[in-house]
Copies of this chain bind each other. A is one copy, B any other.
Amino acid sequence: MNETSISGMKRTHMCGELRLSDVGREVTVNGWVDRVRDNGGVLFLLVRDRAGIVQCTFDKSVNAGLFDVAFTCRTEFVVAVRGKLVARDEAAINRKMPTGEVEIVAEELRILSRAETTPFEIDDSKEVGDQVRLKYRYLDLRRPSMQRNMMLRHRVTQVARNYFDEQGFLEIETPMLTKSTPEGARDYLVPSRVHPGKFYALPQSPQQYKQLLMLAGMDRYIQITRCFRDEDLRADRQPEFTQIDLEMSFVEQDDVIAVNEGFLQRVFKEVLDVDIQLPLPRLTWREAMDRFGSDKPDTRFGFEIRDISDIAANCGFGVFKGAVESGGTVRLINLGGYADKFPRKEIDKLADFVKTYRAKGLAWMKVAADGTMTSSFAKFLTEDEIAAIKERADMHENDVLFVVADASEETALVSLGALRCELAKRLGLAKKDDYKLLWVTEFPQFEYSEEEDRLVAKHHPFTAPMDEDIPLLDTDPAKVRAKAYDIILNGCELGGGSIRIHDPALQTRMFEALGFTEERAKEQFGHLITAFSYGAPPHGGLAYGLDRLCMLLAGLDSIRDVIAFPKVQNASDLMMSCPDVVDAKQLDDLSIAVTREEKDAEA
């Protein structure tokens, strides 16, 4: 037998699950040495596996040979320990460890694998730089927090698959080697060896395939699938990410929402043991923008936006009056009860904050706890105007109003929306374990693209318009609202979807409204247009960002922490050292040549 074999020393229990009720048993555990403590003649090996850590004791006076073997163990050695589980003395109980009331009195020890000194300690309490963590990701993943994150993610996908299975959804795999679409984000391309000069693209989403599956009569489809976007990475973006993607036939918006509310309720219950009340609140996009300055409103706190344009329209403060006169607006939020947290100096810094959202400045008015009022603009206003604003803002002692006036309604709303979130964060009002879910509906069908100087689809060209807005397609397309919906959690978009157009005549009108010529529509979506001509069921769906969902459920700030092997900002994998150069023969096989090469310093 190989001396590092597990034969005869297989675990009877996971380390982390041993309890007082197991005392007296002969047990074997397998795992990594988490720590070694030498107590002069008695050695403690703390052995760690996925379930937790248990203490194993080696007493020199009882078995010197065994003690000596244990003495050679260092952290991260892989060991198998057999022994008797005993209750610890009262004084030795460790209340911080779930196994802290017991320990294994070792009778046999096998070292399955030795370990070099690791580049960092496997310890959640130690801060480690991201570069090192990712280079040695297999060590980083040994940390109990990362193991919990992976287990949570597993649980979420398991709940999703079981729930949607119960609801009649079929898991169907769609291709990864597919066709490049010029619209939308940049594609990752894959050169074809068999077809020189031609390329596959990795999917940005299975959107077209899932609609084709509905045309194919599959009725209800789900897939948890990898998607790819070759975009410059932000903190919470990865070149490859995972969607829970689904589509249903013979449904309207309410049906899609209902089935997904059931899913969310199940996930929160099974993963976090949190009860979510249904139905979830819904806000139209218009209401979300007006009240929260965002299409992803965070409703864990108040500070809703109010409109004082009517009061400010004729006031003596040029900034307010001018904004309204140029077709703009004056809006405010009331940070009720927190005026004392914001001295003048802080407020001035907030003006810089809103400027990053294009606001030109931030006016304010404050009533101290003793009733004293200070303001950046009150001196220009009449007493009546001030009173009207106070009433509109429901202003009391220790309140502070922040006002943005702008010729662009969007700028005023978005900058105040960002400000309310920033202030809530600073005040500690955005608690991670306070889960506020809601739907945003009735999104605009189109948005204006400055780059292309035309209306483009806000979602995609197959999104159905609201029935009552169909006539506006020809007369005032910018006003058309879509049967599109997003699910929001604590100010983050968890997912979004829409009811799709299933009527070819309406689809043609939609392409016209988007300025597509018939040829261009055919070129880009020919196979879909043909497909729709053979009998299309009404259908709609939704896709969740799984990485973000897991991140929020785990109470984390980065999706990297819920992805086993993530890429860094420049899309590299530090552990695998990729992307990398390849053999000339590989490129020749693919009929491509490299036209520019990265200098290694940039790597």
Question: What residues make up the interface of A, taking CB atoms closer than 8 Å to B?
Answer: 1-2, 4-7, 10-11, 30-33, 48-50, 76-78, 80, 112-116, 118, 136-142, 147, 150-151, 153-154, 157-158, 161-162, 165, 170-180, 182, 186-202, 209, 212-213, 215-219, 226, 228, 230, 232, 239-240, 242, 249-252, 255, 467, 470, 502-503, 506, 527, 531, 533-538, 563-565, 567, 570-573, 575-583, 586-598, 602-603
Q: A113-B536, A593-B592 are in contact. Are A216 and B174 (CB under 8 A)?
A: no
Task: Determine the chain B residues whose CB is within 8 A of the CB of A216 once the complex forms.
Answer: 137-142, 564
* Contact A32/B217 with A5-B252, A113-B537 known, Cβ cut-off 8 Å: yes
Tell which of B217, B226, B503, B572 touches A2, judged by Cβ atoms closer than 8 Å. Answer: B503
Q: List 17 A-B contacts (CB under 8 A).
A: A6-B250, A6-B251, A137-B216, A138-B531, A141-B213, A141-B217, A150-B172, A151-B170, A153-B172, A158-B171, A162-B162, A176-B176, A178-B578, A179-B580, A191-B191, A191-B592, A199-B580
- Residues from chain B with a CB closer than 8 A to the CB of A138 are 212-213, 215-216, 531, 534
Contact: B535 with A218, CB < 8 Å? Answer: no
A162 to B147, CA, bound (A): 20
Q: Are B190 and A171 in contact (CB under 8 A)?
A: no
| Listed residue (A176, A186, A251, A255) with the most chain B CB atoms within 10 angstroms of its CB | A176
With A215-B138, A527-B577 in contact, do A5 and B596 touch (Cβ < 8 Å)?
Answer: no
Nearest CB of B to A237, in Å: 13
Shortest distance from the beta carbon of A213 to any chain B beta carbon, whole Å: 7
Q: Which residues of B contact A50 (CB under 8 A)?
A: 217-219
Query: Among the listed B186, B536, B581, B595, which residue makes an inter-chain contact with A199, where contact means beta carbons less than 8 Å apart?
Result: B581
Known: A6-B538, A77-B535, A112-B538. 19 other contacts (CB 8 A): A10-B250, A80-B250, A112-B502, A113-B538, A137-B216, A138-B215, A150-B170, A154-B172, A173-B226, A177-B567, A180-B580, A188-B190, A192-B571, A194-B570, A195-B603, A196-B598, A198-B603, A527-B575, A591-B596
Contacts of A587 in B (CB 8 A): 189
B202–A190 CB distance below 8 A = yes
**Residues in B whose Cβ lies below 8 Å from that of A158:** 161, 165, 171
In the assembled complex, the CB of A243 is this many whole angstroms from the nearest CB of chain B, namely 12
Q: Which residues of B contact A467 (CB under 8 A)?
A: 1-2, 5
**B578 near A226: Cβ-Cβ < 8 Å:** no
Chain B residues in 8 Å Cβ range of A564: 172-174, 209, 213, 216
Beta-carbon nearest neighbor of A162 in chain B:
B162
Nearest 4 pairs of A and B residues by beta carbon = A141-B216, A115-B535, A197-B597, A179-B578
Residues of B contacting A186 in the complex (Cβ-Cβ under 8 angstroms): 193, 586, 589
Question: A573–B201 Cα gap in the complex (Å)?
Answer: 12
Q: How often does this chain occur in the complex, in copies? A: 2
CB-CB under 8 A from A157, the residues of chain B are 171
Query: Which residues of chain B come closer than 8 Å to A596, judged between CB atoms?
Result: 196-197, 591
Q: How far is the CA of A165 from the CA of B527 in the complex (A)?
A: 40
In the complex, A580→B200 CA distance in Å? 7
Are B209 and A565 neighbours in the complex by a CB distance under 8 Å?
yes
Q: Would B581 and A198 count as touching, CB distance under 8 A? A: yes
CA distance A196 to B596 in the complex (A): 6
Closest to A470 in B: B2
A176 to B594 Cα, complex, angstroms: 22
Q: Is the CB of A196 within 8 A of B32?
A: no
**Known contacts being A217-B147, A503-B2, A595-B593, is A230 close to B193, with CB within 8 Å?**
yes
Distance (whole angstroms) from the CB of A175 to the closest CB of chain B: 5
Residues of B within 8 A of A577 (CB): 179, 527
A15 CB → nearest B CB, Å = 11
Query: Which single member of B31, B76, B250, B563 contacts A11 (CB below 8 Å)?
Result: B250
**Distance in angstroms between the alpha carbons of A252 and B212 in the assembled complex:** 45
A34 and B564 alpha carbons, distance in the complex (Å):
47
Which of A7, A576, A588: most chain B Cβ within 10 A?
Answer: A576
Chain B residues, CB < 8 A from A141: 213, 216-218
Inter-chain contact B534/A189, CB cutoff 8 Å: no
With A527-B576, A597-B196 as contacts: A218 and B150 at CB distance below 8 Å: yes
- With A49-B217, A118-B534, A154-B172 known as contacts, the answer to whether A582 contacts B199 (CB < 8 A) is yes
Task: Please report the C-alpha to C-alpha distance between residue A157 and residue B160 in the assembled complex, in whole angstroms.
Answer: 13
Residue of B nearest to A157 (CB): B171
CB-based contact B591/A595 at 8 Å: yes
Whether B579 lies near A175 (C-beta < 8 A) is: no
Is A32 within 8 A of B118, CB to CB? Answer: no
Contact of A139 among B175, B195, B534, B588 (CB under 8 A): B534
Contact among B6, B187, B213, B598 for A252, CB-based, below 8 A: B6
Q: Which residues of B sit under 8 angstroms from A200, Cβ to Cβ?
A: 578-579
Q: How far is the CA of A194 from the CA of B567 in the complex (A)?
A: 13
Say how far A31's CB is from chain B's closest CB, in angstroms: 8
Query: Is the Cβ of B219 less than 8 Å from the Cβ of A573?
Result: no
Contacting pair A538 B4 (CB below 8 A): yes
| A174 nearest CB across to chain B (Å) | 6
